[in-house]
A and B are shown apart, each in its own frame.
Chain A
């Protein structure tokens, strides 16, 4: 039959919890053994987890890191409701049903090697996955800017990497990215040491303002985070005439395109359309989602 290329691209795995680490503000790093998902996942993809048999509806979580070699998938999430709280109670050795990987990934373009990654709160994980992929591809020069209004789920430290065009006092970085050789900077309104005092999108604007036109023409923006942050990111990208891809979230039931429960309204040449966040996204062109 024609057009069945999508078949057998998502895997259902009975995933063992390998580790779960708690950070302030009910943030958790969760590592699951899920070899098929680890082998096939791409940055921007997510998995649909059954948090507990008591709560049969699954929860979509962005993938933060994978190890195809070791067969694990890692997530960073915040316990915000009943499902994620039950997930937070899982301990090493427990099992979690995982459906994944799901979704259209980010698509960086080599002609725009200056990749600006903007992550807010629990929108940080897919940016880490994308940074991990880009550092292995020497064509790209990513810069990650993360914002959070609760303590970052890692111990920030002064960056080893100089980044021109940023305020001199903004030195706090995510150690994992720093060790990877990916420069990062942090922003918050909470006055955390070494962080930019303001919104992460204001930090992005500050950096872009100081690029010359030739450098700016090499920038592409990727973002994930709360809806207002994504709207602000789209506005910044529009002001500097930059392509921008955003990863969205919405309540999901099936997560494979069957129920149309997770749609977002997008603008297309043919007029407005409702696109499924699960399989038409979660990555969308920011200009299709956010109006002028």
Chain B
């Protein structure tokens, strides 16, 4: 049992100047405000390098009507709609109860206007939070969210506003629901983003054929789980091409459900790996993934997990059967 043990020191990474005990990051929206999963015996935030808190807006939000979730083949849809008690409540009532000795805590900044992103960031800046993730990719709110994230110029404006509000590390969470994620990443990087989360959920729908209505109360929702992993891996690979020379780290995420998945993300260019939906399957999955990564490092004689980042060796274009560049499959 890994319960109670410290993760292998070779799993430790440095992320925007913060030490993560492992490359695993618990994803925003899956673990509430950091304490919920500790209800389960054997679960420890120490098994994660960082924990991203639930998306937070300036004012409290009730979120979307039920049903908010629905299982899909190899995944699930969700449309929570950024239910949260507002940034002041989070800073005053929730953060003081978190044990910052256990892991790094990252706030998730959300909003409907550029000004709101600025203001939420400013209020988190004046708190013990370790870093902030800018959520410009929430697919489940009518204003802001993905409406900003799918437009490079708007994304850049949001990042620039947040940058003015803090010197803490800023991680921009990119949407997969856009044509050119690399251009968006470049714009955000130039506006001061220190890191990226790649990817947020993909928009989807499930239909109740008896009622002829969408199952999800919000009609559409964000798809997560193993179904989206290949898409996420390619996006990480694409964003890594932008980030590599700037040494800007990526939290790769999307369908990670085991050590093999985590290794794929690291090799494709991620410095850290997000775990979300898989917790719903197996709440005690973190030590298993950590152990699997450590075993891989042993087997390959690799001293530190950070050596894996971006170690992907692409096939030469001429080796490709269709003759097209591997970064443009089917092109």
Contacts and interface: CB of A to CB of B under 8 A. Distances in A.
Given A55-B71, A253-B280, A274 B63 contact: yes
A12 B71 CA distance: 21
Given A12-B40, A254-B37, 7 more contacts: A11-B41, A254-B36, A256-B37, A257-B39, A259-B29, A265-B65, A274-B83
Contact of A274 (B31, B62, B78, B282): B62
Contacts of A3: 35, 97
Given A12-B284, A274-B83, A251 B40 contact: no
Nearest to A58: B280
Contacts of B39: 6-10, 256-257, 279
Interface in B261-296: 277, 279-284
Given A57-B71, A254-B280, A259 B30 contact: yes
Interface in A257-274: 257-265, 272-274
A267 to B, nearest CB: 12
Nearest to B26: A258
B35 A56 contact: no
A253 B67 CA distance: 11
Contacts of A58: 280-281
Given A251-B67, A261-B69, A265-B65, A256 B54 contact: no
A58 B257 CA distance: 15
B31 to A, nearest CB: 5
15 contacts: A4-B38, A8-B40, A9-B39, A57-B71, A97-B282, A99-B283, A251-B66, A253-B280, A257-B39, A258-B30, A259-B29, A260-B68, A260-B83, A261-B69, A265-B62
A3 B99 CA distance: 11
Given A56-B281, A254-B30, A260 B63 contact: yes
A12 B38 contact: no
A259 B29 CA distance: 5
Chain B interface size band reads: 35 or more
Interface of B: 29-32, 35-42, 54, 62-63, 65-71, 76, 78, 80, 83, 96-99, 257, 277, 279-284
Interface of B: prevailing SS:
loop
Contacts, number: 118
A11 B249 CA distance: 36
Chain A CB within 10 A, most for which of B42, B76, B98, B283: B283
A257 to B, nearest CB: 4
The 10 tightest CB contacts between A and B, nearest first, are A261-B69, A56-B281, A257-B36, A258-B36, A8-B41, A57-B71, A258-B32, A258-B31, A1-B99, A3-B97
Contacts of B281: 50, 56-58
Chain A CB within 10 A, most for which of B40, B63, B78, B99: B40
Interface residues of A, number: 39
A250 B41 CA distance: 24
Contacts of A257: 32, 36, 39
Contacts of B32: 257-260
Contacts of B41: 8-12, 36
Interface of A: 1-4, 6-12, 36, 50, 55-58, 83, 97, 99, 250-254, 256-265, 272-274, 279
A35 to B, nearest CB: 13
Chain A CB within 10 A, most for which of B78, B280, B281: B280
A61 to B, nearest CB: 15
A58 to B, nearest CB: 7
B280 A259 contact: yes
Nearest to B276: A259
A253 B78 CA distance: 9
A18 B80 CA distance: 37
A112 to B, nearest CB: 30
B49 to A, nearest CB: 18
B40 A253 contact: no
Contact of B63 (A2, A83, A97, A263): A263
A251 B215 CA distance: 11
A4 B102 CA distance: 13
B280 A57 contact: yes
B215 to A, nearest CB: 8
A134 B225 CA distance: 43
A262 B64 CA distance: 11
A36 B30 CA distance: 25
Nearest to B62: A274
Nearest to A102: B39
B105 to A, nearest CB: 13
A263 to B, nearest CB: 6
A167 B232 CA distance: 64
B38 A250 contact: no
A4 B76 contact: no
Contacts of B66: 250-251, 262-264
Contacts of A265: 62, 65
Contacts of B42: 12
Given A1-B99, A10-B41, A99-B283, A279 B63 contact: no
B60 to A, nearest CB: 9
